[in-house]
Each structure stands twice: as structure tokens, then as C-alpha cells.
Structure 1
Amino acid sequence: MRDEPTDISGELVAGILNEHWEFRAAEVTYAPVGFGSYHWIAAQGDGSRWFVTADRVGAAGGHAIEAAMRTSKELADRGYEFAVAPLPDRRGQLAREVLPGWMLTVLPYLHGWSTADGAWEDPAEREQIARIVGRLHAAPVPEALQRWDFAIPDRDGLMAALADLDQPWSGGPYAEPTRLRLAGAESYVRSRLEYYDTLVREVEASDDPWVVTHGEPHSANVLRTADGMRLVDWETVRLAPRERDLAGILDGSADALPAYQSEAGPITPQPAALELFDVWWSLAEIASYVELFRQPHVDSADSKESWQELTEYLAG
């Protein structure tokens, strides 16, 4: 996220690290990277560094994040070196609610680089991540791993928005532009929702086994380090159809499939499942941005980026 959250300051992060992780951070700098979570780089006087992440959690609390962090830790402990797991606090917790509605995790600081967006442009890198994901999909299921479901987040909110297109929205500067764009794309969105439900029925009827999936193994979630690729952002790890990861890695091409099969076995992805996750992603993005702009909001770097993303997804 480009804008530092008003609820959590660098000073507060330093105090939390000192109290719960016993890390004495001499400097905490906000890191405007990624989209969805908030990040800081904390440094100690001796040069030690940590990567701190804060996530908003809904009414259900942070149980999903806690389970995801335990899963990534179990994978790392088993020798899956590509899994970047959080550091436990002094009580052994991997994720901690630091304010109502906010979960914080602390990860090791890794030297490496990533990309600005998620596309896998380099064929050699696409094969590398395909092999990594193949290893992940062949892994025994961690005890803490939660099961993915077919629900589109914020779908109820999207349906409410579609039923409320006849009167102006006034939550903020992007509220009315969102209403107008959504009104112009109403038939498209409704048809995609119907198509998604059709795909769900087909994939649910499949007897293909579900596997450990990262959820978002795109290029921006991979650090290229001196020791190889490292997958970050494990909040989305779930037991799910393998196509959940493969949809983005294969990206409509089978070029990287042999690399994946070298680790996962002679697996043939199911076209309906690949299509389902492509459609799920676009609908989940549309629903989340519409929900954002129907709520009170301000004009900021993050809202500008969200508006740009929404217009692209509504354009199909």
C-alpha cells in the first residue's frame, strides 16, 4: 500500500516489536510495497532488520492469518526453503492482534528483488516458479492448513451495489464514478457471476485431489535472492484445486507445464478449473473495489490505484 495507515505508526510498530518480540528497533521505516497489506522495515543498532506486516481483519478475527502463518512455518521447518515464514514472538505466536481489527506479523528481512506487477515475462523464471509450485503441490498437507471455498469475497456487497445503481453514491470522490462505471458494465458483471457459478458446479463435481496452494504465486510475490526464489505473502495459503496456482503461472500456455510436472507428477490441469480461477480473480477484484468505493473514502495514492484497477477489470 502506498499510504501508511493512520491507525498504526512507525513508533507503535517499534513499541510492539520491543514488547512482544523483544526486538529493539532503533529505526522503523514505512515500506510502500505491495497492495492489500501494510509493511515496515525495522532496523536494530547492530544492523539486524525485520520485515513487519500489518493486515486488517474482518469480524471473524485473525484466525485465518494465524492458520496461514502456522502453515508457512510448518512448510519452512520441513525443508521447503522457498517458504518465507514469520518469526514467533516471545510467547511463540506467529501473528498477533495489536489493535482491534489489526494483525501483525514479523518476518526475516531478505536481500533480493521482485517485480512491480505479477506477470511472468521471463520463460526461465516461469519454469523456476513452476517447479517450486510443483514441489508445494506435492507436499504433505500441514496440520494448520485451512480449506479454500468457492465464495467470492464481498459478493453480497457487489449484489447490493448492482441493486443500487439508480441513485447517486456519496461515500467519497470515487463513489459516483464507480456507480456509473458499474452501471455501464452491469450486464457483463452479472453474466460473469452466472458463468462462475456454472464453473463451480463443474469443478465441484471433479474428483481431482486438492493440494497445498499458495494462492498468489505471481511474480511480485517472489523475491529473487542469492539463494534462489523465495515465495512471500502466505496469508492466502489454502487446500484447494491445483489450478488455483497454475492459472497465473501457466497463463494460457503449456510451456512451463513440464517443469511443474517434474516435481508434481504427470498432472494435467483441468481447463474448467483454470478458467474458474481466472474468473474468480476478476470478480473478487471488482467486488472488493466496489465495496471500497461505496464506503467513506478519500482521494489518495491507494484509492487512485484501486480506481485504475477497477476500471480495467470492468472493461473485461
Structure 2
Amino acid sequence: MRDEPADISCDVVTAILSEHWEFQAAGVTYAPVGFGSHHWIASGPDCPRWFVTADRLDPRGNWLGSTAEQVRGAIEAAADVTVELADRGNEFVVAPLPDRTGRAAREALPGWMFVVLPYLQGWSTQDGAWDDLAEQAQVAGLLGRLHTATPPEALQRWDFAVPDRDALLAALADLDRPWSTGPYAEPTRLRLAGAIDHVNERLAHYDALVREVEASDEPWVVTHGEPHSANVLRTTDGLRLVDWATVQLAPRERDLAAVLGGTTDVLPAYQAEAGPVGPRPAATELFHVWWSLAEIASYVELFRNPHSESEDSEESWRTLTMYVPG
């Protein structure tokens, strides 16, 4: 997130690290990276560095759950699963550091879940597109390893629900009067009104794909959820997958949709680790459509509620216009 949360200062993060993780931070700076979570970089007196993540327990527009309690449970489960995967020797998994009680995630402030990770020196791309074909193949191989892993006990199961779908349907039924909840409310209404047939067709297409994939007996596997290029950290020790908040048991195409395609075929790299299995066209299409609908629903819900002009709002509007034709 580009906008620093008003109720969490760098001093507050320093105090949380000291009290709950027993890490003594000599300096903390806000890191305006990613989208959805807030991040800080903390430095210790003897050069250790930590990457601190905070998520608000607000279910609106959050893909992790429909209530605050479900969001909390999903964050805790994802953190525990990531730690277990890393402990099994999966070096590409960047896992949370436990707090002083052994928890990988905790509500260190009322209404806020915190996760602390090791800060790794490296770089990632600005968006999810693959520019390096060799890296794309390497990540396909890492996913092949992940998909053969025994599911950890804490792993939650993905479902076919589109987050905020009910809110999107309510918005589609409320296009005849102006929206006045903020600077992007009325532009969102007008954009949606012009694309109502497109959105309804996408919803119907998604439901048809769900019926087809649900009828399949293909086994589900451990999936990262968003293994695109921006979630790959290039380090001197190799490629590392970050942002495991969406790790779940799901069809393998949930991950494959992010790495297959383009100008090269990386399926052989995946199959070298996962065995002679491949993507099903309907399941791959399902996750492409799911992603677009989840983005549309999330940002429509954001702008139908009170909001203000900010860098995050501007970025949200830009993303919405990518998925809703003008």
C-alpha cells in the first residue's frame, strides 16, 4: 500500500517488535510496496533486518474471509503453513519468523494482524509479467515441487466463491442513481453502467466453468495462489517466492495460470518436478476469469463506500479500468 496507516507509526512498529518478537529495532521505515497489506523495513543494531507486514481485520474487500474472525484465522493458517513448508526444506519459501510465544502471526494491535519476515536482499519486478524466460521456467519448476508436497494440517481449502460477489450484484442493480461516496464513486458507476453486459457475461461464464471443474476428480494440491513475477524475489542464493498469504489447497491451475503461456513453453520444467500432469483448459480459464471478477468486485465495493483521494485510490481506479472496458 502506498498510504501509511494513520494508526500505526514507525515507533509503534518498533515497540511491537520489541514486545512480541523481542527484536530490538534501531530504525524502522515505511515501505510503500505491494497492495493490500502495509509493510515496514526494520533494522537491528547488529545489522539484522526484518520485513514487517500488517493486515487490517476488516473483511470488506479482503479475499481472505467474510468476517474479521475468518480473516484472522486465514492469516494465522497461511503463516503456519508457510513455516511448515520452509521447515521441510523448501528453500524457495520465505516464511515468517515466530514471535516470543512461537506464533507465526499475531494480533499485536487491536484489529491488526502482524507477520514478521526476514529481510532478504534482492529485487522483484513492478508487475506480474514475465520478462526473463529462464526465470519463468525456474518458477514453474518450483511450483512443481510445491504441488507434490504433502498438504500441511493447517492448510485451508480454496473455494469457488468470488469475493464481494454479492456486493457487485448489488452495485449492478444500483446504477440508475448517482454515487457520491468519494471522488471515484461516480466514475465507477458510469464505467460499470457501460460494461454491465460484459460483467454479467463474465459472471455467467465463470459459473459454467465452476460446474465443469467441480465435476472433475483431479486431485487438489498445495498452491501459492499468486506466483507471478512480482512475488518472486531474485537473490544471490536463487529465486524465492514471497507473499504466501493466499496459500491454499486448490486445483494446480490456480498457480499454473500465472506461469504458463507467453512466448515459451515452461510446462516441461513443471512436469520435471510434478510428473506427467498438465493444465486443464477449463480450469486455467476459470482462474483467469476468477481473478478479473475478484478485482472488479473488490474495487467496485471500495468505491461504493466512503473513500478519499490518495495514491492507493488512484492505483485502485487504474486497476479497475484494466478489467472493466470503457
**Bin of the TM-score, shorter chain as denominator length:** over 0.9
- Unaligned stretches of 5+ residues in structure 2: 60-66
Output aligned runs, 1:7-156, within 5 Å: 7-57=7-57, 58=59, 59-61=67-69, 62-156=72-166
Give, in angstroms, the shift of residue 55 of structure 1. 1.0
Superimposed CA distance per residue, residues 51-84 of structure 1 (whole angstroms, 9 cap, x where no aligned partner): 0001123233210010000000000000000010
Give, in angstroms, the shift of residue 7 of structure 1. 2.1
- Cα distance in 1, alignment partners of residues 261 and 158 from structure 2: 21
Output aligned runs, 1:93-242, within 5 Å: 93-242=103-252
Give, in angstroms, the shift of residue 47 of structure 1. 1.4
Which deviates further from its counterpart, 71-80 or 40-49?
40-49
Superimposed CA distance per residue, residues 69-116 of structure 1 (whole angstroms, 9 cap, x where no aligned partner): 000000000000001000010011111112333111000010111000
SS in 1 for 2:245: helix
Give, in angstroms, the shift of residue 242 of structure 1. 0.1
- Cα distance in 2, alignment partners of residues 198 and 149 from structure 1: 15
- Cα distance in 2, alignment partners of residues 187 and 105 from structure 1: 41
- Cα distance in 2, alignment partners of residues 6 and 284 from structure 1: 27
- Cα distance in 2, alignment partners of residues 202 and 100 from structure 1: 42
When normalised by structure 2's length, the TM-score is 0.95
Q: Which amino acid aligns with 2:68?
A: A
Q: Which amino acid aligns with 1:277?
A: F
Give, in angstroms, the shift of residue 254 of structure 1. 6.6
Aligned to 1:292: 302
Give, in angstroms, the shift of residue 253 of structure 1. 6.5
- The CA RMSD measured in Å over matched residues stands at 1.1
Superimposed CA distance per residue, residues 142-199 of structure 1 (whole angstroms, 9 cap, x where no aligned partner): 1110000000001111011111111111111000100000111111001100100000
- Cα distance in 1, alignment partners of residues 208 and 148 from structure 2: 28
Aligned residues: 316
SS in 2 for 1:236: coil
Q: Which amino acid aligns with 1:43?
A: S
Q: Which amino acid aligns with 1:138?
A: T
Aligned to 1:4: 4
Output aligned runs, 1:263-302, within 5 Å: 263-302=273-312
- Cα distance in 1, alignment partners of residues 159 and 263 from structure 2: 26
When normalised by structure 1's length, the TM-score is 0.98
Q: Which amino acid aligns with 2:265?
A: D
- Cα distance in 1, alignment partners of residues 264 and 75 from structure 2: 33
Which deviates further from its counterpart, 263-272 or 93-102?
93-102
- Cα distance in 2, alignment partners of residues 142 and 157 from structure 1: 33
- Cα distance in 1, alignment partners of residues 175 and 81 from structure 2: 42
Give, in angstroms, the shift of residue 121 of structure 1. 1.9
Superimposed CA distance per residue, residues 15-59 of structure 1 (whole angstroms, 9 cap, x where no aligned partner): 110100011111110001111111000111221110000112323
Give, in angstroms, the shift of residue 238 of structure 1. 0.3
Superimposed CA distance per residue, residues 230-284 of structure 1 (whole angstroms, 9 cap, x where no aligned partner): 1010000000000000011003667000000000000021000000000000000
Runs of 4+ in 1 over 4 A off after TM superposition: none
- Cα distance in 1, alignment partners of residues 274 and 56 from structure 2: 34
Q: Could you tell me whether the CA contact under 8 Å between 2:32 and 2:39 is conserved in 1?
A: yes
- Unaligned stretches of 5+ residues in structure 1: none
Q: Percent identity?
A: 72
- Cα distance in 1, alignment partners of residues 280 and 168 from structure 2: 28
Q: Which amino acid aligns with 2:20?
A: H
